[in-house]
Every structure is written in C-alpha cells, then in structure tokens.
Amino acid sequence: MHGPASPGWLLVALCAATGAYCLLRMRSSVEEQRRAAGGEALMGFGMAVMAVPATVFTPPGWAWPLYAAVFGAAALRALWSGRSSPHHLHHLVGTAAMVYMAVAMAASPGAHHHGGAGVPLVTGPLLLYFTGYVLLSGARLVPVAVAAGTGTVRWGDRPELARACRLSMGIGMVAMLLAL
C-alpha cells in the first residue's frame, strides 16, 4: 500500500488474523461452512499480502499477473458455487475485486504505487458494494453477538466470529479500494 506504513501494517494484521481464523473454521463439522471458510481464508491472506507497505516490499513484476490468475480461479470457483448458495456470490464480487486490484497494480508505474491506478468506473461501484456490505454486516452482527452466549460452541463454529471476520474483510476491502 502507498502511504503511511502504520495503517498498512494494521491492515496486514487484520487481514492475516482473519485468514488465520478462517483456517480454524475449516475444521468445522458443517461442510458448507468449511467450503466458505476456505475461500475466506484465501481472501484474508491475499489481502494481507497486498496490503504490505510498499516501503517494506515491492513485489516483482510477475507477481501481480500471478495474483490476478489465482484470484481469477477463485472467482470461477465462487461463480460455480454461487449456483447453490447466494453467499458465494459475495465471494465472487470479492475475488473479482482482488483481480481488478491486481490488474490495476500491474498496469501502474512502479507496480506497487497506488493513486490513479484504478478505473473510477470500476472502483466506484466496488466501493459502494463493499461499503453497503460493511454496514449491513455490522447491523447483522449485533443480534448474533447478543444471542451467542448460549451453550458451548467450538471456535470454528461460532457464527458471530464468522460474521465478524467477513465484516473485517469488508472493511479491509474498502480501505484497499480507497488507497487504489
């Protein structure tokens, strides 16, 4: 990320912690949750790598097309999974946004500079989508967190933590799109 290093490192920590929790959720006994958690772990770790401040690490020129290919494949998987679950359509938008940011980074001079690298006609709708997603996710999180105090549930099966992770990734996506 271009700009001060502190917000970049905070975003790296947030996204990496989210990815790590999603890996824990992959141990759930619920198959659909395991499937969703895998895609969310990929997004969390991918966002963490992309958010590393440019003053610390500038990826080689071949990294951004590789990044776009990995998230392009994830987008195809999300599109295929979206037939059975509308939640995967959100994964499709997220992976498409990652492809877009990787292509914008590859096309920008210096390959890791933000600012003017994105196309406003694409960045704007993505910002609107993720801002709306963050607001809706935050509103949905409150009732789940209040009701979550009943019984013992494994860490990987806690719905309020899964929603908090999705909310965190949405906030991270808004921050990354703003910095693009």
- 134: closest CA among 160, 100, 165, 88? 165
Residues of the chain with pLDDT under 50: 111-114
Alpha helices in 52-158 (DSSP H): 63-81, 87-107, 120-147
List pLDDT tens digits, range 52-90: 888 888 888 889 999 999 999 999 988 988 788 777 788
Specify the pLDDT at position 112.
46
Tokens 């990929």 correspond to: 42
Q: How far apart are CA 152 and CA 61, in angstroms?
A: 48
CA–CA dist 98, 174 (Å, integer): 12
What is the residue-averaged pLDDT of the chain?
83
> pLDDT at position 14, please?
93
